[in-house]
Amino acid sequence: MNQYQKSVILLVASLSGASCSSIPEAEPKPKKSAVAKVPASKAVPASNPTLIRTAWQSTPQSMMTDVNQYARSEVERRMASNSTLSLPRLSSSELRLIGDKIFSNEAGGSKDKLVHWNDNENFASMGIGHWTWYPQGRGTRFGNTFPKLLSFLEQNGVNLPYWVREAKQRGAPWRTKSEQNRARYTPQIQQLTQILYETRDLQAKFILQRAERAIPRLIKAAPAQNKNHVIRNVEALMNSAGGRYALIDYINFKGEGLSMHSGYQGQNWGVLQVLINMRPVRQGSHTLNEFANAAIFVLERRVQNSPRSSGEARWLSGWSQRVNTYRNPWV
């Protein structure tokens, strides 16, 4: 790389805000061959956009390739340095508050709804997070997440009954809502309900760990043109009172949204889509309102894109009520 190439790349780097420390040194001048001097018209100050455009337009195409490759690598390096962004450490009391709030959102805080089956769904909803549990042989469009919680409980010393360990491998022991209702007062369901009630704190920890794993994956999955925007919004949420609850709850509620092309009509509704659709914000209560507004927009878009036969519009009011709890910085 000659001195002129380095000068242009330094100019591009300064305009993009990228670090210049990793730019390779210019090649030494050959001793016996003449080296063309950089024309004065091309030595432009970074503060003059008109002159910058003139120099840019007169730059040879081969050099532009070098500049573009460097700029891309610098952006990737900067984004990688932010991929370690993580949730601040929560105290046990904060985590318990968030777990109780999620329990209230999902099950109304009712012990009887820790083992549940919602109307018009083909899977059971289990625990404080209403994790999905599909019967054996049934498609798992929304993920079969309850067995993962059961494994987590076992890893943390919870002794599960034999029939639960067997069902974890095979699938939910009920095939319909009515079948589960008929079994509601059997010793098995009463036993499982009690276990889920006594392990609420562990379940909150399970939810937190999912959110912690999600943050760097969100940043990595964000489209290049949205990456800085997503990082700033995540940072604003994590540094706002109540923001961590909003982020953790929505990830448990509607997932990460890491695939930009899944969902209805190629539009997903996870937390990544919410962060992309947020307006740029700084930390504070305004951040919570912007996150809630973007979440409602994404969920309304989901309903608009959904097949009419699914009847998803009936859920929108409840979804909006849940999202509106994010506006209050209570924790």
Question: Would you say residue 165 has pLDDT above 80?
Answer: yes
Question: What six digits make up the tokens of 238?
Answer: 């994590």
Is residue 270 very low, low, confident or very high in pLDDT (cuts 50, 70, 90)?
A: very high
Better-predicted residue by pLDDT, 141 or 39: 141
Question: How crowded is residue 189: how many other Cβ atoms within 10 Å of its Cβ?
Answer: 16
State the pLDDT at residue 44.
37
Place of tokens 């081969």: 62
State the pLDDT at residue 42.
40
Question: Would you say residue 253 has pLDDT above 90?
Answer: yes
Is-contact 233 101, C-beta < 8 A?
no
Q: Collapsing DSSP states into helix, strand and coil, what is residue 230?
A: helix
Share of the chain above pLDDT 70, in %: 72
What long-range pairs does 291-296 form, CB within 8 A, spacing at least 24?
Answer: 291/233, 291/237, 291/243, 291/246, 291/247, 291/250, 291/326, 292/246, 292/323, 292/324, 292/326, 292/327, 295/250, 295/323, 295/326, 296/320, 296/323
Q: Which of 200, 183, 101, 218 is nearest to 149 (CA)?
A: 200
Better-predicted residue by pLDDT, 72 or 224: 224
Question: Would you say residue 237 has pLDDT above 60?
Answer: yes
108 phi and psi angles, rounded to 5 deg = 65, 15
Mean pLDDT over residues 27-45, rounded?
Answer: 44
User: Per-residue pLDDT tens for 91-111?
Assistant: 889 899 999 999 999 999 999
DSSP calls for 18-77:
---TTPPPPPPPPSSS--PPPPGGG---TT-HHHHHHHHHTS-HHHHHHHHHHHHHHHHH
State the pLDDT at residue 112.
95
State the pLDDT at residue 160.
97
State the pLDDT at residue 260.
66
Is residue 140 very low, low, confident or very high in pLDDT (cuts 50, 70, 90)?
A: low
Place of tokens 């432009």: 44
Please report which helix (H) or strand (E) contains residue 285, including its range.
helix 285-305
Question: Would you say residue 163 has pLDDT above 70?
Answer: yes
Lowest mean pLDDT among 77-81, 101-105, 310-314: 77-81
Question: What six digits make up the tokens of 312?
Answer: 């998803």
State the pLDDT at residue 142.
62
Distance of CA 80 to CAs 85, 214, 225, 228, 282, Å? 10, 15, 15, 11, 22
Distance of CA 155 to CAs 195, 199, 206, 316, Å? 15, 13, 11, 36
